[in-house]
């Protein structure tokens, strides 16, 4: 799996870092995690899940029948957890760097324009 | 089954490969139904677009060997264009000029020299830098080739290789881009080997011709179809050999190479469209050349999506969804129990 991860992929892995989720639950969780910014559609979601399963980052945990319909639950694998941790650390470093720069700007605001 | 469910199922059946549909179709449709508003009667346009894109991704996913097929086709195309550029460059250098032909030196009178030089530079760059630099070199060669056509039209007395020679070269160049990226050293040297192999053939054949601006027509009528047949037979042998080991990249490569093979065979293909009978010219008329090239292009553009779609219809056309869930040992249905 290529890194840095795209945002939907990152959010899917993050959503699966908790308990196993089925397709609809996963879409709802990604929507909640992103504050409504990322709303996955099923075709996109299952395409991403297939790639993650192929890469060994996600696996099918179990299946159950609810009201005559099959529900398949997905879970993060150990390598998936490692990728998520590495990616989170990379993003954290970026956030720290950006935060430090922004604090420095606020502490010492530059003068704009020439001296009157 | 509700109307909405039936409609989702119909769209899924249209876009997704059969194997994947059997494995995941109901799960996919159920998720759409869970997200749909209670009063919805038809899938939204966005859902249909999502299904179309998702289905295309699945078709590409199950087309095993497609990516390696592009790389293999790229190497074969690059070897062929290297041989062609070397052969034509030797012709430009060796073929004696007709005494009555207005000679102004090879660089002034024939734009073939810079064109073939640009393609040979791309071949050499591939050995040393098969990534970004190679792509740039191919782009430059395409520009030089296109520029030669424009320049020859603007400056009287300046000759260029005919379009039925330049067009296959450009198409081979585009396919050769598939070879870009990391490759073993021996693979990177294959195009150079093909160029070296053509040298004795070109050197021994070139003196039979006289340069009067049209030797391309005489030599091209034989040389290009010969290159097409060689590429076709070579590609087919590779495809059969690899398929025997359940490696399908050769089949994809052959499909990809159909367009450049057709372009190399424009001369005989155009002659087939010519119905003027036994008295027809050795060089097919312009309109038949255009007709044949459009036909070749259309066949090339249509054959790949058709092949990918056909692959999706095959019974083994889907990767299984790996699951650790317990299944019924008799019917194979998933168990209702959790874990």
Give the gap in angstroms from C-alpha B335 to the nearest C-alpha of chain A.
7
Interface test with B, best of A43, A50, A51 (most B CBs within 10 A): A43
Give the gap in angstroms from C-alpha B246 to the nearest C-alpha of chain A.
20
The reply to whether B29 and B89 lie within a common domain is no
Domain closes at, from B62, B88, B104: B62
Report which secondary-structure segment, H or E, holds A75: strand A69-76
pLDDT per residue as tens digits for the range B113-160 = 899 999 999 999 999 998 899 999 999 999 999 999 998 888 877 788
The reply to whether B155 and B132 lie within a common domain is yes
The reply to whether B21 and B162 lie within a common domain is no
The reply to whether B137 and B172 lie within a common domain is yes
CB pairs < 8 Å spanning A and B: 87
Asked if residue B263 belongs to a domain, the reply is: yes
The reply to whether B70 and B109 lie within a common domain is yes
Interface test with A, best of B30, B67, B338 (most A CBs within 10 A): B30
pLDDT at B102 over 80: no
CA atoms within 13 A on the CB side of B8: 25
Which of A54, A63, A71 is closest, CB to CB, to B323? A63
pLDDT per residue as tens digits for the range A8-56 = 999 999 999 989 999 999 999 999 999 999 999 999 999 999 999 989 9
The reply to whether B15 and B114 lie within a common domain is no
The reply to whether B44 and B89 lie within a common domain is no
Pairwise CB contact (< 8 Å): A43 & B54: yes
The reply to whether B96 and B224 lie within a common domain is yes
ipTM: 0.84
Asked if residue B337 belongs to a domain, the reply is: no
The reply to whether B288 and B147 lie within a common domain is yes
Quick check: B322 contacting A, CB < 8 Å? yes
Instruction: Give me the pLDDT at residue A67, please.
Output: 79
Pairwise CB contact (< 8 Å): B26 & A44: no
pLDDT at B338 over 50: no
Asked if residue B182 belongs to a domain, the reply is: yes
Domain that holds residue B282: 66-313
Which of B32, B52, B57 is closest, CB to CB, to A42? B32
Quick check: B330 contacting A, CB < 8 Å? no
Q: How many domains does chain B have?
A: 2
The reply to whether B80 and B174 lie within a common domain is yes
pLDDT per residue as tens digits for the range B222-278 = 889 999 999 999 999 999 999 898 888 899 999 999 999 999 998 888 877 776 555
Which 8-state DSSP code applies to residue A116? Answer: -
Residues of chain A with C-beta less than 8 angstroms from the C-beta of B58: 47, 50
What domains sit in chain A, N to C, each tagged with a CATH number?
7-106 (1.10.10.10)
Quick check: B320 contacting A, CB < 8 Å? no
The reply to whether B221 and B202 lie within a common domain is yes
Q: Which residue has the higher pLDDT, B167 or A70?
A: B167
The reply to whether B70 and B9 lie within a common domain is no
pLDDT per residue as tens digits for the range B178-200 = 999 888 889 999 999 999 999 99
CA gap A91, A33 in Å, rounded: 16
Split at pLDDT 50, 70, 90, the class of B328 is very low
Pairwise CB contact (< 8 Å): A41 & B322: no
Pairwise CB contact (< 8 Å): A44 & B50: yes
The region, left, alpha or beta by phi > 0 then psi within -120 to 50, assigned to residue B142 is alpha
């Amino acid at each position: 799996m290529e890194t840095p991860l795209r945002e939907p992929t990152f959010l899917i892995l993050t959503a699966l870092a908790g308990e196993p989720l089925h397709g609809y639950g996963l879409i709802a969780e990604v929507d909640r995690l992103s504050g409504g910014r990322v709303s996955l559609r099923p075709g996109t979601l299952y395409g991403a899940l297939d790639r993650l399963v192929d890469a060994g980052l996600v696996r099918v945990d179990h299946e159950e029948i609810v009201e005559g319909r099959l529900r398949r639950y997905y879970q993060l694998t150990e390598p998936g957890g490692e990728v998520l941790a590495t990616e989170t650390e990379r993003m954290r470093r970026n956030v720290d760097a950006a935060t430090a720069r922004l604090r420095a700007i606020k502490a010492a605001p530059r003068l704009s324009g020439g001296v009157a | 089954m509700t109307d909405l469910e039936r409609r989702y199922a119909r769209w899924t059946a249209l876009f997704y490969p059969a194997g994947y549909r059997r494995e995941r179709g109901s799960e996919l449709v159920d998720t759409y139904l869970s997200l749909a508003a209670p009063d919805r009667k038809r899938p939204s346009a966005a859902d249909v677009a999502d299904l179309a894109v998702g289905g295309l991704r699945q078709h590409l996913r199950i087309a095993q060997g497609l990516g390696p097929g592009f790389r293999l086709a790229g190497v074969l195309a690059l070897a062929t264009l290297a041989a062609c550029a070397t052969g034509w460059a030797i012709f430009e250098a060796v073929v004696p000029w007709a005494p009555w032909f207005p000679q102004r030196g090879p660089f002034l009178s024939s734009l073939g020299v810079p064109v073939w030089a640009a393609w040979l530079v791309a071949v050499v760059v591939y050995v040393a830098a098969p990534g970004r630099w190679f792509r740039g070199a191919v782009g430059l060669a395409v520009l030089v080739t296109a520029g030669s056509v424009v320049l020859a039209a603007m400056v009287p007395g300046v000759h260029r290789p005919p379009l039925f020679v330049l067009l296959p070269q450009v198409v081979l160049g585009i396919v050769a881009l598939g070879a870009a990226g990391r490759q073993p050293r021996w693979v990177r040297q294959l195009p150079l080997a093909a160029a070296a192999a053509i040298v004795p053939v070109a050197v021994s054949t070139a003196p039979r011709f006289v340069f009067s601006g049209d030797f391309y027509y005489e030599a091209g009528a034989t040389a290009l179809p010969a290159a097409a047949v060689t590429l076709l037979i070579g590609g087919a042998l590779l495809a059969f050999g690899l398929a025997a080991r359940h490696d399908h990249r050769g089949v994809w490569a052959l499909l990809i190479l159909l367009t450049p093979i057709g372009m190399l065979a424009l001369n005989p293909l155009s002659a087939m469209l010519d119905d003027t009978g036994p008295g027809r010219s050795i060089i097919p008329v312009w309109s038949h050349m255009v007709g044949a090239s459009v036909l070749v292009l259309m066949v090339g553009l249509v054959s790949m999506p058709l092949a990918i779609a056909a692959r999706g219809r095959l019974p083994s056309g889907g990767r299984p969804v790996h699951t650790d869930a317990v299944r019924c040992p008799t019917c194979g249905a998933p168990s209702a129990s959790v874990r």
